[in-house]
Amino acid sequence: MASKAAAPIMAEAPPVSPKPSFDCAKAKASVERLACESPTLAVADQRMAQSYRTQMERFPASQRSRLLEGQRSFLNYARTACADDPVCLEWAYDQRTADLDTSFAKAPAILTLTRYATSAAPDGPMLRRTGRRLLLDQLADPATPGERALNAMMAQWLAEADAASPVAPSLGGGIEGAAVEFRSISESRIVVAIQGPTVQRLIDWSPKLGRPLEVSDEKPLSAGDLIDG
């Protein structure tokens, strides 16, 4: 009986390494080269880029420059805080993705803008993972003088919270910072939370009158309430 010819053995294709969101052939910055060399960092970069694209599509055209500014401030923060540490960069990219994704869950009428900044500490290991994250909610398309006044006041409140939130360098410390966020919205009343590193105030704003109706006293925050990456 003639023996059957052995079936050819097909060589398995080598696994394809994850690629970042950009062309590695054009990578110039050290953080870009790291993303091209590290599969896990490449995946983190892809996740962040997808969240950013989704958020950019969601933003009104008139506000997209503000989102772009926030993304640039994050990239500057990550490059300074993490230097050439791929583990730190992956951690920072995941934080940025979480910030972008969190804003998706809010009403389409609300924009969530995030700004990042490193501390004023000298360059060195103590600067790693040290900085602040500033979250600002605003009405996407304010239609009345009271709504426009609220957006302006929220920006002022965030600046004040930032000034009261110094960030000291610490090893492996995560991100802390300030936030001005909507807690509830109705036709007659908007409740805004102003949060610093250790305290919080609630403000009841009247869209019709264009001024606060009530401002709560500052209250201490528990450890679980703090803005911390």
| DSSP-derived secondary structure for 87-137 | HHHHHHHHHHHHHHHHHHTS-TTEEEEEEEEE-SPPSSGGGTTEEEEEEEE
**46-105 pLDDT per residue, tens:** 999 999 999 999 888 888 998 999 999 898 888 877 878 888 889 889 989 998 998 877
In the predicted model, is pLDDT for residue 135 greater than 80? yes
Q: How confident is the model at residue 9 (pLDDT cuts 50, 70, 90)?
A: low
CA dist 189 and 8 (Å) reads 74
In this prediction, residue 6 has a pLDDT band, given cuts at 50, 70 and 90, of low
> What tens digit of pLDDT does each residue of 152-208 get?
999 999 998 888 876 665 555 556 788 999 998 888 899 999 988 677 889 999 988
Helix (H) or strand (E) segment spanning residue 220: strand 219-220
What number of H helices and E strands is found in the chain? 5, 7
The reported pLDDT for the residue numbered 58 is 86
Any idea how long the chain is?
Answer: 229
With a CB cutoff of 8 Å and minimum separation 6, the contacts of 18 are 39, 40, 42, 43, 46
Q: How far apart are CA 166 and CA 120, in angstroms?
A: 10
Predicted model pTM: 0.75
- For the chain, the structural domain boundaries read 24-225
